[in-house]
Homo-oligomer: A and B are copies of this chain.
Amino acid sequence: MSTKDLFATRTSRMKASEIRELLKLLDQPGIISFAGGIPDPTLFPADEFAAAFQRALAPDSRALALQYSVSEGYLPLREWLVDHMRQIGVECGVENVLITSGSQQALDYLGKLYLSPGDTALVGWPTYLGALAAFNAYEPRFDRLHVNGNQGEPEYAAAAGEGAVKFAYLSPDFANPTGETVDLRGREDLLDLADDLNCAVIEDGAYQALRYNGEPIPPVLALELARKGSIEDCRTVYCGSFSKTLSPGLRVGWVVAAKPVISQLVLMKQAADLHSATINQMAVNDVARACFDTHIPKLRRVYGARRDTMLGALQRHMPDGVEWTRPEGGMFIWVTLPKGVNGADLLEKALETVKVAFVPGQAFFPDATGSNTIRLSFSNSDEDTIREGIRRLGDVLRA
């Protein structure tokens, strides 16, 4: 094995294994888990998927559904995505859309496309763990991307001169892990910064559709389009996913970008896995056309109520000195514990004494700071469970 891979693996192993061990907890009986950032499976449009897979495997389409396909993805789905992107402010053509196996794959390919060892990637501090893992394989250094998070003036650090900045990565709406949203001013400032640094922007829209209150803010790519007039002049690469809206298990996501970027990604995908599963793309296309617009409001109602319940429970049960975010959407609330309280220690104690799970926040920081933070997910627990779990967590924290 090459040195680079030993290195890349070492840096990602600790964090990956933390999450992996945590995911195993979900299967233990009696555990109240706020750990996994996963959708509630009872909300999947499963009847629609059953019908869609049946249609895909009907005599006239089964040969298509089970056969090799093109690397760009299933054309009708890419056409639906062109419409979908237009609805959120992004005018593009099918040639600007690539289907990926979840947006996680897009992050891997974008790391491969942009990063050489020693290059700089700007990321949030904290940021999505899976983005760090995907980029780590290409051995960048990480520098801190300051975004306002709706809390006053944005402040950006230019990267130190140690490695060219290749991109800024962010999830502007209800980010994993903080739940925070970058406001309009923050997005515009980010575009200024990217122009100054001549770097790409990787916009992770995984949670974009899941807004529970407040006005939608245009995607960074939509704002750049408004400035530049054509997607071909944009440096922002938008990564979308059906994982949080229709189903994560089908592994269908997408990338929208200028044609030269898409062309490079298509070649990468062809070399890396040929194409995403044909039948899954057909089924997602079918279900998206049948019920995306009616399904999303349903998710918003259920998840929004769970968010409210968790916020209320935190208010009721957390001792003084504990702070948390108040997300307008997504799946996560980010809790900052009093200084000196360690999130990993708290997890150990919470599991042992009250059977409550969550993710210690440290893993989301490229430099493993943030030891006094934890991430709570409200998406996959009913409201009673949320109330009970937060009550127990409050007990542990006061003990």
Contacts and interface: CB of A to CB of B under 8 A. Distances in A.
A272 to B, nearest CB: 4
A54 B46 CA distance: 11
A130 interface: yes
Contacts of A267: 9, 12-13, 16
A105 B251 CA distance: 15
Interface in A164-179: 166
Interface string A182-219: 00000000000000000000000000000000000000
Interface stretch (A112-120, A144-152, A348-356): A112-120
Contacts of A268: 9, 137
Contact of A57 (B53, B130, B243): B53
**Copies of this chain, how many?**
2
Interface stretch (A67-75, A305-313, A364-372, A389-397): A67-75
A294 interface: no
A101 interface: yes
Interface residues of A, number: 70
B249 A68 contact: yes
A251 B271 contact: no
A136 interface: yes
Nearest to A268: B137
Interface string A64-82: 1111111000000000000
Contacts of A13: 267
Interface string A13-36: 100100010010000000000001
A277 B101 contact: yes
A301 interface: no
A133 B273 contact: no
Given A9-B264, A280-B280, A67 B50 contact: no
Nearest to A270: B16
